[in-house]
Amino acid sequence: MDQKVYIDILKNVIPYAKRFLGRGFIYQQDNDPKHRAAKVRKWFRQHRVTFLEWPSQSRDLNIIEPLWDELQRRLVNK
């Protein structure tokens, strides 16, 4: 997938989200290069989409990692 395909997907997803989630929804994406492309950022501005800034590769914000750690601790202690 490239930035053009991503924008085509956004063209379908964003109107649906605005209709069903309300105008105040916040779109979340990671820091994939196609997500940060100038054309994509411009598309978001033109369509007045608010998105959540997300630090790249942030283990602290990945909710599954602490769960895996806890599971491993519990399995080792049995």
**pLDDT averaged per 10 residues in sequence order, the chain, 78 residues:** 92 91 85 88 92 69 77 82
Crossing angle of the two packed helices 38-46 and 3-21, in degrees rounded to 10: 30
> What pLDDT does 36 receive?
86
Instruction: Specify the pTM.
Output: 0.64
Q: Could you list the residue range(s) of the whole structural domain that residue 50 is in?
A: 3-77
**Residue 31 near residue 58, CB atoms below 8 Å:** no
> What pLDDT does 43 receive?
94
Domain count along the chain: 1
- Provide the token pair at 54: 């997300």
